[in-house]
Amino acid sequence: MIKKIQNNILDYSFFSNNRKKLTSALGKDSVAIVAANKIFDELPFRFIQNKNLFYLTGIEQEGTLLIISEDYQILFLQNPNVDKVWNGERLTEDEAKKISGVDKIIFYDVCENLNLKKYYESYDNVYTNFSESLTFLNPESISVPCKDLNELMCVIRMKKEVCEIECIRRAGMITKKGLEEVSKILQPGIKEFEIEGVLLGSFMRNGSRYPSFSSIVASGKNACTLHYTKNLSRCEEGDLVLLDVGSEYCNYCSDVTRVMAVGGKFTRRQEQIFNAVLRISQFAKSFVKIGTTFKELQMVTVEKTKEELLKLGLLKGNELKGDEYKKYFMHGVSHSLGLDVHDLCDRKLPFCENMVITIEPGIYVQDEGIGIRFEDDVVVKEGVCEVLTEGISNFISI
């Protein structure tokens, strides 16, 4: 159990403000019940807190429950003395208040003994995270209509506060250091999982507890598999290695993709495709503004990609109007980024100020065994977007 968050960037005022956003969205007639993620009793797996609960309280302890409405905010925590030998110390009342800013703390021994009915029965709606809240209550037994909490949180979490952006920036800089370490040891014969080990070690040495997601270290033709995570192959002279990786900082994620050449130099053809992807990336970033939508960004990126594929000789002029481009570019160019790598958001809504998204175009030529993707993390602004990961090298040497 982790008693404290990683640093003081996110303090109780941040979490208190997030709860204000939720109570405003709830209105007078609704209450929210936000439960911690489930744990596995048999083995000591790493506990990952429910991201909405962390966003609202900063509490990373298992067995936590928040009940919140315009009328009250109550934090339920397991008694510090329960299973202390197995799980160590838990938060005291003062510690929980200092982290979360919630004034009313109620301790319990066994969650099944909690009587929560009195906290929600007078409201018209209960918003909750269903799978997690089953530990504490059975939605089928609640007479009040239950709704998915993410209906509200997907809008609330879209716009990032300055402290959240700083966490993502720091995660990106930790990722930068990891990639730089890889560039120094990359040589023919190294295994993909060895590269992954260097990355993870670097992340931890530089202040990240965990990676944001399972690292993709894809050499040669493996880079044409979008979610390649086996990381078992041997890197050969002349191969490119696609690294889609990210560290977390204070639970906020980075998501970066770079491509490196085994042996240090790109071939002429590899360079051509890389530069094409880089131009697409720069073009897509120029289109990121307040009011743009994911759909619009995808459409203009596809058109720019078709243009580059034509130059590369991969598409013919009569193929530009069809879907033939999907043979070489078959995924979305962007997703929201935050506490989750694919962060909670309403993809139908236009971009708002201080929303953080990725820009990740790619070209994958399976017949040539070349897969190149270039991914940065950017902040939506009124004018030109801010690139949080622009300090990370392109790692190209011709």
When divided into structural domains, the chain yields a total of: 2
* Mean pLDDT, residues 101-123 taken together: 87
**Contact in structure between 331 and 362 (CB atoms under 8 Å):** yes
Encode pLDDT of 323-343 as tens digits: 999 999 999 999 999 999 999
**CATH number, domain containing residue 234:** 3.90.230.10
CATH number of residue 39's parent domain: 3.40.350.10
For residue 26, give the amino acid letter.
L
Contacts of 334 (CB under 8 A, 6+ apart): 284, 294, 297, 298, 357, 358, 359, 360
Same domain, 145 and 180: no
Give the CB-side neighbour count of residue 299, counting CA atoms within 13 A. 5
Are 140 and 264 members of one domain?
Answer: no
Q: Is residue 104 part of a domain?
A: yes
53 contacts 66 by C-beta, under 8 angstroms: yes
Say how far apart CA 5 and CA 28 lie, in whole Å: 32
Phi, then psi, of 361 in degrees rounded to 5: -75, 165
Kindly state whether residues 167 and 148 are assigned to the same domain: no
Report which of 264, 258, 215 is spatially closest to residue 239, judged by C-alpha positions. 264
The answer to whether 304 and 296 have CB atoms below 8 angstroms apart is no
Q: What is the pLDDT of residue 397?
A: 55
Any idea which of 2-11, 144-153, 304-313 has the lowest mean pLDDT?
A: 2-11
Flag whether 142 is in a domain. yes
pLDDT band at 261 (very low <50, low <70, confident <90, very high): very high
Let me know if residue 239 belongs to a domain: yes
Task: Give the domain range for residue 221.
Answer: 162-387
Q: Is residue 379 part of a domain?
A: yes
Alpha-carbon separation of residue 42 from 86, 133, 139 (angstroms): 11, 20, 26
**What would the mean pLDDT of 344-372 be, rounded to a whole number?**
97
pLDDT in tens, 159-185: 999 999 999 999 999 999 999 999 999
Has residue 263 been placed in a domain? Answer: yes
- 86 and 132 share one domain: yes
Q: Please, which residues bridge with residue 217 across strands? A: 243
Angle at 250 between CA 175 and CA 391, to 5 degrees: 30
212 and 141, same structural domain? no
Assigned domain for 395 exists: no
C-alpha 388/C-alpha 392 separation (Å) is 9
> Which DSSP state fits 200?
H
- CB-CB contact of 350 with 293 (8 Å): yes
Q: What is the pLDDT of residue 144?
A: 82
Same domain for 91 and 169: no
Res. 8 pLDDT band, cuts 50 70 90: low
- Output the six-digit token pair for 179: 């990639």
The answer to whether residue 7 is domain-embedded is no
Q: Which amino acid is at 247?
A: S
Residue 392: name the closest of 81, 180, 138 by CA.
180
Whether residue 253 contacts residue 338, with contact meaning beta carbons closer than 8 Å, is answered with yes
User: Do 282 and 209 share a domain, yes or no?
Assistant: yes
Together in a domain, 130 and 197? no
On whether both 323 and 189 belong to a single domain, the answer is yes
Other CB atoms within 10 Å distance of the CB of residue 255 = 27
Q: Are 195 and 149 members of one domain?
A: no
Distance in angstroms (rounded) separating the CA atoms of residues 100 and 61: 12
Same domain, 139 and 224: no
Query: Which of 110, 137, 156 finishes a domain?
Result: 156
Residue 337 within any structural domain of the chain: yes
pLDDT digits (tens, 9 = 90+) for 98-109: 999 999 999 998
pLDDT tens-digit series, residues 45-88? 788 899 999 999 999 998 899 999 999 999 999 898 877 777 78
Calpha distance 32→67 (Å, rounded): 6
pLDDT band at 317 (very low <50, low <70, confident <90, very high): confident
Residues 217 and 258 in one domain: yes
* pLDDT value of residue 69: 97
Q: 99, 131, 156: which is the final residue of a domain? A: 156
pLDDT at 112: 66
pLDDT recorded at residue 2:
37
Q: Which of 130, 156, 182 is the last residue before a domain boundary?
A: 156
Residue 392 has pLDDT above 90, yes or no: yes
As a dihedral over the C-alpha atoms of residue 352, residue 343, residue 250, residue 91, rounded to 10 degrees, the angle is 110
